[in-house]
Structure 1
Amino acid sequence: MKRLSLLAVLIGNLSFGQQIDTLKTTVLSPKQLKEDFQLYRKMLEETHPGLYRYTSKEHMQSTLDSVASTLVKPKSFYQFYKDILHIGAQIRCTHSYAFPSKKVSQYSMNQISTVPFYTYGMNEKVYVLFNGSMNEGIKPGFEILSINGNSIESIKEQFYTYAWSDASIESSKIRFFAGSLFWMFYHALVDKSERFDITFKDLDGKLQMFHVKALTPRTSMANYKKNPVNKSILKKYKQGKRKMFKLGFPKDADKTATISISVFGGDSEEDAQQKTRKFMDMAIKKMEKVGVESLIIDLRSNQGGWDIVGSELLSYLVKSDEPFEYWRKGIAIIKDTTFLKYTEYSYQDWLIAKKELKEQPDGTFLVVNPDGPNPVLTQPKPNRFKGDLYFLIQETTGSAASEFAGAAKSRNLGTFVGSETNAAYDGGNSSTFIKMTLPNSGIYVNSPLVAGYLNVKPQKIPNRGVLPHHEVNFIRDDLLIRYDRQLEFVKGLIRKNDKKTESP
């Protein structure tokens, strides 16, 4: 099922010292609020290429003006943080997000005290995966119904109001109930209590209430091994470092291979491209050697990375010999170097990048091929895979990984199983980013510089993520035994297709 890679990341951060959340008592003056807000607004209006992509200019400007009108009296830090989140949510861009601090891992692990569980959102319900309190009555798999009188439905409403997500995608927001995102959002938006009265539905469906003390996530995670109720489930979720690519051959699926891709990674674009080529050449040789006819590509828990990985992967999978255009166009609106200091760009980088920008009548800039007027085409690989393809996707498939899924689905390359991805089917706002800390509040914001549009056919339902051909959702018992219902469904499809091709 969905790999909880975040757990391994968080465990790696346990060395931070515990701190007190001073932001709870921080109050910003109108002058401080206005300075931070005006800087944020200027950045959005002058650099965000998708500011009006899914939200009309009238609505977006009305939202910005509405927030500005409230900055005449002092506000608490968390009130202002909500304002910034609200603006980001209205943009409807998964790369337009804000954290309470630039040191977000330290903040969410050591600075806040909150609900002492590693939770997991699934099918609009929220479950305890690991119990970080020392109360042995609360078991993994308990469903959380309410916290301090706040129903899960009301908590969801708050989360969904402020969560960042692409286009009109709502289903992927359930991921904000997993791990550190839940800790951060619950503390920032809902409740900063030192004690929680929590109503659960237990494994037998009975209601139970327990009282637990708020703990830092760092302390909660240290308690996972101490509380015996976690012993069995911790063994099931034990994992090492995830590789970028992993090739497998399931024993219970004949002539079938799996390729799991955890990230579209690399030290540079060229490095990412070379890593992809090296792996795929090796994988195809091995698959040919054992006669693989069905290939499952697992994109779950892949939050993206380098776009070049997507176009390279596609070149090993397309059916046609014709060169293809991966991206249809890219749009930027940045006109000067004011915000360069918040990017990885140097001034020399900017001078080079300007050669790729062609001004349009509406004041935006088209990102063009610097080597000539023709579109950038990718050549299909001569050793590409020719068998049946299956793709596993879900709400943790984001950014470049989701875009690759969209490009593959548009070309009818295979069968998609799972749930909707968390990035738009036809491309998102990404490429390179402004990463800025607002000077008075310390709120850390991320904002993209290029709006990308994939060369894909329109999806039947517009402004959504990549939608699977077969929607397959997990249930609570899958969580407890780590049963991969989506993968098993694909294997079932493969066996069914094999039977269809058998001679009578």
Structure 2
Amino acid sequence: MRLTHIFLFTLFACSLAAQPVTDTLQTNVLQPADMQADFRYFRRLLEETHPGLYRYTPKPVMQAKLDSLAGTLTKPMPFYDFFRTIESLVADIRCAHTHALPAKNWESLFNSHWKTFPLFMFPIQNHSYILFNGTANETIKPGFELLRINGHSMEAIRQRLFRYHWDDGYIQTSKQAVMQGQLFALFYYWFMEQPDVFHLTLRKLTGDTIQVDVPAQPFTTSLRFYKKNPVNKQMIGWYGKNAKHPWRLSFPNDMPRTALLRLDSFGGEGAKNSDEAVVLFRAFMDKAMRQLAKKGIRNLIVDLNNNPGGWDSQGIELFSYLMKSDSAAAYYERQYSVTDSSEFIQFSDLSEQDRKNVKNELIPESDGTFTLKQGDVGRGPRRYLPKPNRFRGQVYIFMNGRSASTASEFLAVAHANRVGVFLGEESGGAYEGGNGGSFIHLELPHSKIYVGSPLLYYHNAVGEVTKKGRGTMPDYALDITIDDVLNHTNSRLDFVKKLILEN
């Protein structure tokens, strides 16, 4: 999708100057009339504009759920209880591009107001390991496994947080994101509890268990200790830096005629629109194709692990550089909206010119929906020719539950067209497609909860889908290991190297 809502932050992107203050939302009590008004407003937004509101839940069932939730708003309620009510509804839509946040300025509040969990956690196979220690306590080291927080087992915490995370369909791998890093700190604060101290049970690298207390603190304080605490030095050296460019092509020394293409995102590198995104990505890929040809590369590994998406057009471009067939192929079967005139469109990310042109871009259908025009072909689907300079060798594609949005669309279409071998875990977006394109963002009038929802329903050109609401499945299921993290190794890449040699 063109935009995506990602809350896995860059470690060192936040200012360290903010001073902690009180979270006033903790003492905010909402009155029934205000909550009911906000709920009606949000419900109308969903019913008028959300194209996937009934994608996984039949309309009568969803309407009954909405009625039931509305009936619970009869007594004064603490702010965070009402927020959890809204968030539970969001999660039940089963759309990775629909969200609710406590406030529009949530990032500033997280940095300086909210006192949250100070350790950066990393989930592996339903275990939670410490990657960075955000306290002054040097007893807690990277690689320690977190077993309990304030008497809550990690399994109980996991199930609670999973309940509120927004994901496509029935995909579980994408929910693992909520157990990592800053997102874990946020979700624990929003949906578990807001203590001043965390009583932890940890398993050391030796296997012994220890009890440790750590303070709840603003993220800026934790970030400061990520850098200062000497126990983090090695992990920061390996994982605390960001690549200068999101797209990189490399040639492993121990793998003859093999290249590795890493795509951190389809973010466009500064592109302001889809056309600019295409120009930038095409320039990168054309250069990459020349390098592959010059070096006689026969095997290309495409790494889309943790790629959150971005511009649709860049995903389509990547597909056209890897297609096996000489014939043109469709990428989307159909994209459609359920409105061409809702007043909520004024809150969308569409430009003023695009808003005025909405009716010209949408084709009315007999069922009340509106098909997005596919360029000159009208209803579509538009078909894309393979690039003349495309890569014609063997392709291996890495993916995981955080390969989402545009990345998951590419994975689905590439899988359906047998572009290569898929490795890792189930992708984070539904194989048949999700919802996205452009988005509406607004504050609910009274509570000021900040919500976002998509305007387009995506139907990927992947043929008949037998398991609706599931992601692209790997040909080889591969997991990262804690040894990989602690030793800075890559067992998944080693597997692919072996696979290439065998083939």
| TM-score normalised over the length of structure 1 | 0.94
2:423 aligns with one of 417, 421, 432: 417
Kindly indicate whether the alpha-carbon contact (under 8 Å) linking 2:7 and 2:183 is maintained by their aligned counterparts in 1.
no
In structure 2, the CA distance between the partners of 1:8 and 1:321, relative to structure 1 (3 Å rule), is same
Structure 2 counterpart of 1:455: 461
Counterpart Cα distance in 1 of 2:285 and 2:146: 43
Does 2:36 align with 1:34?
yes
Secondary structure of 1:371's counterpart equals: helix
Identity of aligned residues (%): 39
Does 2:395 align with 1:395?
no
Counterpart Cα distance in 2 of 1:474 and 1:355: 48
Structure 2 counterpart of 1:235: 237
Structure 2 counterpart of 1:178: 180
Kindly indicate whether the alpha-carbon contact (under 8 Å) linking 1:89 and 1:165 is maintained by their aligned counterparts in 2.
yes
Measured against aligned partners, the alpha-carbon deviations of 1:349-376 in whole angstroms (never above 9, x if no partner) come to: 2232212222223222222335344532
Q: How do 1:243-254 residues align onto structure 2 when only pairs under 5 Å count?
A: 243-254=245-256
Structure 2 counterpart of 1:405: 411
Kindly provide the amino acid, as one letter, of the partner of residue 470 in structure 1.
Answer: Y
Q: How do 1:338-353 residues align onto structure 2 when only pairs under 5 Å count?
A: 338-346=343-351, 348-353=353-358
Structure 2 counterpart of 1:212: 214
1:433 aligns with one of 439, 448, 456: 439
Structure 2 counterpart of 1:81: 83
Secondary structure of 1:87's counterpart equals: helix
Secondary structure of 1:316's counterpart equals: helix
Aligned residues: 494
Kindly indicate whether the alpha-carbon contact (under 8 Å) linking 1:259 and 1:295 is maintained by their aligned counterparts in 2.
yes
1:304 aligns with one of 305, 309, 312: 309
Q: How big is the shift at 1:124?
A: 1.1
Measured against aligned partners, the alpha-carbon deviations of 1:299-344 in whole angstroms (never above 9, x if no partner) come to: 1121101111111111111111111111100121024241122112
Structure 2 counterpart of 1:293: 298
Counterpart Cα distance in 2 of 1:10 and 1:323: 44
Structure 2 counterpart of 1:67: 69
2:99 aligns with one of 76, 89, 97: 97
Structure 1 counterpart of 2:376: 371
Structure 1 counterpart of 2:3: none
Kindly provide the amino acid, as one letter, of the partner of residue 239 in structure 1.
Answer: K
Secondary structure of 2:199's counterpart equals: strand
Measured against aligned partners, the alpha-carbon deviations of 1:347-406 in whole angstroms (never above 9, x if no partner) come to: 542232212222223222222335344532212111111000000101111100110011
Counterpart Cα distance in 1 of 2:226 and 2:352: 48
Kindly provide the amino acid, as one letter, of the partner of residue 23 in structure 1.
Answer: L
Counterpart Cα distance in 2 of 1:16 and 1:206: 38
Structure 2 counterpart of 1:110: 112
Kindly indicate whether the alpha-carbon contact (under 8 Å) linking 1:108 and 1:183 is maintained by their aligned counterparts in 2.
no
Structure 2 counterpart of 1:492: 498
Unpaired stretches in structure 1, ≥5 consecutive residues? 498-504
Does 2:474 align with 1:468?
yes
Measured against aligned partners, the alpha-carbon deviations of 1:232-266 in whole angstroms (never above 9, x if no partner) come to: 22212132344231110011111000111111122
Kindly provide the amino acid, as one letter, of the partner of residue 310 in structure 1.
Answer: G
In structure 2, the CA distance between the partners of 1:347 and 1:290, relative to structure 1 (3 Å rule), is closer
Secondary structure of 1:175's counterpart equals: helix
- Cα RMSD for the two superposed structures: 1.7
Structure 2 counterpart of 1:478: 484
Kindly provide the amino acid, as one letter, of the partner of residue 110 in structure 1.
Answer: S
Structure 2 counterpart of 1:259: 261
Moved more, 333-342 or 404-413: 333-342
Does 2:317 align with 1:317?
no
Measured against aligned partners, the alpha-carbon deviations of 1:59-99 in whole angstroms (never above 9, x if no partner) come to: 21122111100111111111011011111111000001111
Moved more, 435-444 or 245-254: 435-444
Secondary structure of 2:452's counterpart equals: strand
Moved more, 100-109 or 418-427: 100-109
In structure 2, the CA distance between the partners of 1:261 and 1:5, relative to structure 1 (3 Å rule), is farther
Q: How big is the shift at 1:230?
A: 1.3
Q: How big is the shift at 1:108?
A: 2.2
Measured against aligned partners, the alpha-carbon deviations of 1:12-32 in whole angstroms (never above 9, x if no partner) come to: 343444332111111111121
Structure 2 counterpart of 1:281: 286
Moved more, 9-18 or 239-248: 9-18
Measured against aligned partners, the alpha-carbon deviations of 1:273-322 in whole angstroms (never above 9, x if no partner) come to: 11121111111111111110000111112110111111111111111111
In structure 2, the CA distance between the partners of 1:423 and 1:350, relative to structure 1 (3 Å rule), is same
Measured against aligned partners, the alpha-carbon deviations of 1:159-181 in whole angstroms (never above 9, x if no partner) come to: 11111100111222111011121
Counterpart Cα distance in 2 of 1:206 and 1:290: 51
Structure 1 counterpart of 2:361: 356
In structure 2, the CA distance between the partners of 1:20 and 1:362, relative to structure 1 (3 Å rule), is same
2:448 aligns with one of 421, 442, 451: 442
| TM-score normalised over the length of structure 2 | 0.95
Q: How big is the shift at 1:448?
A: 0.3
Does 2:134 align with 1:129?
no
Structure 2 counterpart of 1:326: 331
Unpaired stretches in structure 2, ≥5 consecutive residues? 1-5
Counterpart Cα distance in 1 of 2:72 and 2:108: 30
Kindly indicate whether the alpha-carbon contact (under 8 Å) linking 2:11 and 2:223 is maintained by their aligned counterparts in 1.
no
Counterpart Cα distance in 1 of 2:7 and 2:490: 15
Secondary structure of 1:297's counterpart equals: strand
Kindly provide the amino acid, as one letter, of the partner of residue 153 in structure 1.
Answer: E
Kindly indicate whether the alpha-carbon contact (under 8 Å) linking 1:294 and 1:387 is maintained by their aligned counterparts in 2.
yes
Kindly indicate whether the alpha-carbon contact (under 8 Å) linking 2:340 and 2:358 is maintained by their aligned counterparts in 1.
no
Counterpart Cα distance in 2 of 1:14 and 1:462: 45
Kindly indicate whether the alpha-carbon contact (under 8 Å) linking 1:120 and 1:127 is maintained by their aligned counterparts in 2.
yes
Kindly provide the amino acid, as one letter, of the partner of residue 285 in structure 1.
Answer: R
Kindly indicate whether the alpha-carbon contact (under 8 Å) linking 1:5 and 1:301 is maintained by their aligned counterparts in 2.
no
Kindly indicate whether the alpha-carbon contact (under 8 Å) linking 1:356 and 1:370 is maintained by their aligned counterparts in 2.
no
In structure 2, the CA distance between the partners of 1:13 and 1:407, relative to structure 1 (3 Å rule), is farther
